[in-house]
Amino acid sequence: MKHFFFALMILGTLAARPATAQTAAPLEFSEQVTTEDLSRQVLQARVLDWAKNKFAFGPQTGLQSDPQAGTVRLNGIVKLKPLAANGKEREVTAQFQFTFQASDQGYNYSVGSFQVIPNAKEPTVLIPLDQYLTQLSTEKGIERTKNDRRVAAQANARANDVALSFRSYMNSMPSIEDGNVGIAASEQ
């Protein structure tokens, strides 16, 4: 009787697995960061500098900034590489949205709203990433290529790359007191 229930549990787990893969939540990376002694204007200026001079994901488009609200929004581009039917990688372009919101206590940001350009000949046709993943999961040979999981993992990695680039830049913000570093107390 134990073996029967054990086998039933394994079958139930296996049967539930494809359903959870198809109903995965949309991909998004977000974080809330607390800062001290930095105003909303200083944070927003720093983000605009990153967006205009250090943003490495694209050509970036749709840069919008609202100084009163402390927001910055822009779109970037990443490449994803599902496998073709012959087993070789093919490249598709995906667009994502970066959003930033500053307050006097810190800021929050997110990388998400991924949309895929499935056909390079029609760059204006965008489909949401979750819809694209569903299409991939219905392709012939999905058991061999596992394109849906491959592309989801790649999109997740690209979102983390954007977040890491942004946080690295924000963490390298010069301190107001940096002018005193290395100066002897008697010289001040």
**Which of 46-60, 129-143, 173-187 is least confident?**
173-187
Residue 107 neighbours by CB under 8 Å, 6+ apart = 32, 33, 35, 43, 47, 70, 100, 101
Using the predicted structure, report yes or no on whether residue 164 has a pLDDT greater than 90: yes
| pTM of the predicted structure, to 2 decimals | 0.75
Say what the pLDDT of residue 40 is.
87
Predicted local confidence at residue 25, as pLDDT: 53
Q: Give the model's pLDDT for residue 120.
A: 82
Q: Over 80: is that where the pLDDT of 181 sits? A: no
Q: Report whether pLDDT(118) > 50.
A: yes
Considering only 85-94, 110-119, 158-167, which range has the smallest mean pLDDT?
85-94
In percent, the amount of the chain with pLDDT more than 90 equals: 34
**d(C-alpha 153, C-alpha 167), whole Å:** 21
pLDDT confidence of 2, banded at 50, 70, 90? low
Lowest mean pLDDT among 11-15, 19-23, 141-145: 19-23
Mean pLDDT confidence for 53-66: 89
